[in-house]
Amino acid sequence: MSAPTTNTPATRTGSGPRRAVREPALLVLEDGYVLRGSAYAATGRTVGEIVFSTGMTGYQETLTDPSYHRQIVVMTAPHIGNTGVNEEDPESSRIWVAGYVVRDPARRASSWRATRELEDELADQGVVGICDVDTRALTRHLRERGVMRAGIFSGAALPAGADHLTDQAMEVLLDVVRESPQMLGADLAREVSTEEAYVVEPTGEFAGREPVATVVAVDLGIKARTPQQLAARGVRVHVVPQRTTLAEVLAYEPDGVFFSNGPGDPEAATHEVDLLRGVLDEQLPFFGICFGNQLLGRALGYGTYKLEYGHRGVNQPVLDRTTGKVEITAHNHGFAVDAPIGETSTAPYEAGRYGRVEVSHVALNDNVVEGLRALDIPAFSVQYHPEAAAGPHDAEHLFDRFVALMQNRRLARGATPTTTSTSDESEAR
């Protein structure tokens, strides 16, 4: 796994729950928009695509989500850090954000679950941040201009004259930002994927029993709660690296294949799309979320495109077009699938090789495609996170749907059925 996207050595701004004196810091966007603030967490410089998250809770899950690799995250909620951090909520083994922007950092954690201060955790992992900035104005700017590259600069990374925003200093900082890599065309899943395969065995009432199904989960930036959701339903999950081949997938004799969330441009993920087409050709049940949804779209022959400012947060309304229900969902995506809404279409790849497809879910805020369902092969996907640890949990039933799909395949192949306590519920939906 790669290191945080910092360009100069990061140093801590201090220790303990409250910094008495903070050094100045600047946030510089590639269009020339500049905000003064104070150094938060580590000092130094960092660059990345700047995005905003509208969630009022779950910041630890956000920070440890590999999908935020190479992104500077702006928190729209004004007060961040009040619940500290703990050992239970991380979604991966490290913090992935390239930088962190908050308005009012908490003076100290106030939660019985907290084991450390958020700022100390960020600093120890070398994450350069900025606080005391108007995050509302910044969010409005990004909504109007779209997400773009940005940089946070503090400490030794501030050139002479930066405190007065001199033309020469600003030119230096803008050059750093504008020379940084763009997200468009970035192939990043390999940078966040596990190096070695590992197994998550069934848990809870299914622990120690024969699994109801075996799944190969391709790690493109997978979050810990995803295999946990499947394991809680009696599934044995083989989590495998991004580079895994179709032959290696089939060697596990899986009942289904799962593609996780992850960072980067789906158009650059050629290996993953080829792998997925092989899975679809084998008629293996497939479920994808977030990046996995975009890859299913591309495998079926649809295009993808970059959203102006994306969807990020735990409060996004989505219409399930199958049931007519509205679910509040967790999102983290800057790309979307370009597929026809409101009508069944034939998958464009190789003149309809994969049959008919419908858009199963739609974002109510902007009518973006939020899910796909193949009608002639056992494959479906959603753009959001039904496993979201911080919630909401409206869409967890999609894991039941996946288990039911795999059990139907086992029945068709003459295998002895093993039911779960939730499969009937999923069929009812």
Of 426, 419, 369, 389, give the one whose Cα is nearest residue 58.
Answer: 389
pTM of the full structure: 0.90
Verify whether residue 121 is a known catalytic residue. no
Q: How confident is the model at residue 121 (pLDDT cuts 50, 70, 90)?
A: very high
Cis status of the peptide bond prior to 90, with omega within 30 of 0: no
pLDDT of residue 69: 96
* Percent of the chain scoring above 90 in pLDDT: 79
State yes or no: pLDDT of 350 exceeds 50.
yes
Distance CA 117, CA 96 (A): 17
Each residue of 88-113: pLDDT tens digit?
888 888 999 999 999 999 999 999 99
Active-site residue identified among 69, 238, 331, 385:
385
* CB neighbours of residue 281 within 10 Å: 12
Active-site residue identified among 267, 290, 311, 397:
290
Distance CA 28, CA 39 (A): 14
Residue whose entry in the numeric block shows the structure tokens 């909504």: 143
Grouping H, G, I as helix, E, B as strand and the rest as coil, residue 329 is strand
Each residue of 320-348: pLDDT tens digit?
998 899 999 888 999 999 999 989 999 99
* CB neighbours of residue 342 within 10 Å: 9
**Average pLDDT of every residue of the chain:** 91
Verify whether residue 164 is a known catalytic residue. no
pLDDT of residue 11: 57
pLDDT of residue 287: 98
Grouping H, G, I as helix, E, B as strand and the rest as coil, residue 43 is strand
Residue whose entry in the numeric block shows the structure tokens 């990345």: 48
Q: Under a CB-based contact definition with an 8 Å cutoff, are residues 39 and 45 in contact? A: no
CA distances to 241, 346, 386 from 91, rounded to whole Å, are: 17, 37, 14
List the structure tokens of 209.
């029993």
Distance CA 402, CA 400 (A): 5
Active-site residue identified among 49, 327, 358, 387:
387
User: For 156, how many CA atoms within 13 A lie in the half-sphere containing its CB?
Assistant: 7
Domains of the chain: 11-178 (3.50.30.20), 189-428 (3.40.50.880)
Counting every residue written for the chain, the total comes to 429
List the structure tokens of 427.
């069929």
Each residue of 170-207: pLDDT tens digit?
999 999 999 999 999 999 999 999 999 999 999 999 99
Distance CA 424, CA 376 (A): 22
Q: What is the mean pLDDT of residues 354-374?
A: 97
User: For 152, how many CA atoms within 13 A lie in the half-sphere containing its CB?
Assistant: 36
Annotated binding site: 67, 262, 264, 291, 294, 332, 334-335
Measured in degrees and rounded to the nearest 5, phi and psi for residue 377 equal -135, 155
Annotated binding site for L-glutamine: 67, 262, 264, 291, 294, 332, 334-335
Q: 4-18, 62-76, 289-303 — which is least confidently predicted?
A: 4-18
Residue whose entry in the numeric block shows the structure tokens 């996207």: 5
State the amino acid at position 321 in one-letter form. R
pLDDT of residue 418: 55
List the structure tokens of 68.
């935020």
pLDDT of residue 429: 36
Distance CA 238, CA 252 (A): 8
Each residue of 261-291: pLDDT tens digit?
999 999 999 999 999 999 999 999 999 999 9
Q: What is the DSSP string of 141-153?
A: HHHHH--EEEEEE
Verify whether residue 290 is a known catalytic residue. yes
pLDDT of residue 417: 55
User: For 186, how many CA atoms within 13 A lie in the half-sphere containing its CB?
Assistant: 22
Helix axes 291-300, 270-281, angle to 10 degrees: 70
Q: Under a CB-based contact definition with an 8 Å cutoff, are residues 228 and 200 in contact? A: yes
Residue whose entry in the numeric block shows the structure tokens 């956000």: 62
Q: How confident is the model at residue 78 (pLDDT cuts 50, 70, 90)?
A: very high
Distance CA 360, CA 337 (A): 12
